[in-house]
Structure 1
Amino acid sequence: MNMKFDPNNAVIKLCMRGMSLEDSGSIEEAITMFHKAWHETTDDYERFLAAYHLARLQKEIADKLKWMEASLKYAQEINDENVKSAYATLYLNIAQCYEELGDSDNAKRNFELLNSYKSTPSDEGPFYHGTKADLQAGDLLTAGGNSNYEPELKMNHIYFTANANGAGLAAALAKGEGRERVYIIEPTGEFENDPNVTDKKFPGNLTRSYRSKSPLKIVGEEIEWAKLTTADRRKWHKNLAENKGDIIN
């Protein structure tokens, strides 16, 4: 089973709103927003995400542990390969809670479980890369281009995703005047989770975003993905302009 991360999901949108409030220092309002998200959940995937965010902002360690264990329980109920990317993060948080509570046996057990889920990505795709460049099957995409987010930055990796809509977003934000293209690609070497998104907003790598130092080979073109509205496009460009975070290159 492979679930698609959907930024238009109502609960995910509430969690994103909560994170924005948190970033602006409005912690109590953020907690209220995460509780709203929790009360609007309709399935285990949404419960897994809302519980995780509620856990992060708990003042008492015992409460944080309760919500983290709930998040893990719902994640395991889904039995989804994408969600398994969050297991290591959840086990780490749970182990640290037990450590702070002085329960060394449970801390040790969860640290061991964490290590069993730390591995290279096993995602089998299909994979996509979004750009405005006009390319053909057989062409190679290589590292060394300028970042879409920091134009002065030469990228040491080439980025791709198993989410066609995510590649479509990258195409919309790419420099250039050409039409937005989403290519189906095959990695030619090893790849890793994109550290710029993994564990940044949501646990693990739910957006299935990756990077490689090896070229990506174009094998075809995807023609169907969710296009950004003009309002969404403006919002994304505004967010990028205001983003002060460093890119992990």
Structure 2
Amino acid sequence: MASASVSIPSDKGPFYHGTRADLKYGDLLTAGRISNYQEDLIMNHIYFTALINGAGLAAALARGGGPERVYIVEPSGRFEDDPNVTNKKFPGNPTRSYRTAEPLKVVGEVTEWLRQTPEQLQEWREKLLANKGEIIN
């Protein structure tokens, strides 16, 4: 039985990637780098979303001391629903979260999104620390 996490999404975007990295237009985000959230984990995929506020939350929670950045990205190849949230935490894919093993190209940056309060961010950080679940990488 095929799961929703291996289906090819029909989402057309636009797509966003939240981080604290200082990127330029045309830069490629590639797999094989250290996770934004766990310094001892090398990622096999690049994660992105079609929801700007989701990317903003990802940027706020990312490791590093740089400012929160949300980039507009274009997938260069196939991508799939993110199995870490799709049908694992939320039925279907309401977060419109995806991953790809192929590069994402930075094509823009946005500066306006709904930002979490310091209290909300602390709650998210505590959830991440308490999460003993395995990341499907």
For residue 4 of structure 1, what is the aligned residue in structure 2?
none
> Equivalents in 2 of 1:218, 1:201: separation in Å?
28
For residue 53 of structure 2, what is the aligned residue in structure 1?
165
The match for 1:155 among 29, 38, 43 is 43
For residue 201 of structure 1, what is the aligned residue in structure 2?
89
How far has the Cα of 1:170 moved from its partner? 0.7
> Equivalents in 2 of 1:218, 1:150: separation in Å?
23
Runs in 1 of length 4+ with deviation above 4 angstroms? none
How far has the Cα of 1:150 moved from its partner? 2.7
Give the TM-score, by structure 1 length: 0.52
For residue 73 of structure 2, what is the aligned residue in structure 1?
185
> Is structure 2 residue 8 aligned with structure 1 residue 120?
yes
> Equivalents in 2 of 1:183, 1:171: separation in Å?
10
Q: Secondary structure at the match of 2:57?
A: helix
For residue 243 of structure 1, what is the aligned residue in structure 2?
131
Q: Which has more radius of gyration?
A: 1
How far has the Cα of 1:175 moved from its partner? 1.1
How far has the Cα of 1:149 moved from its partner? 3.4
> Is structure 2 residue 38 aligned with structure 1 residue 146?
no
> Equivalents in 1 of 2:34, 2:117: separation in Å?
25
RMSD after superposition: 1.8
Q: Of Structure 1 and Structure 2, which has the larger fraction of its residues in helix?
A: 1
Structure ranking higher on relative contact order (CA contacts 8 Å, 6+ apart): 2
Stretch moving more, 229-238 or 145-154 = 145-154
> Is structure 2 residue 134 aligned with structure 1 residue 232?
no
* Structure 2 portions without partners, runs of 5+: none
- Asked whether the equivalents of residues 71 and 106 of structure 2 are also in contact (C-alpha less than 8 Å), the reply is yes
Q: Secondary structure at the match of 1:184?
A: strand
Matched positions, count: 135
* Structure 1 portions without partners, runs of 5+: 1-91, 93-113
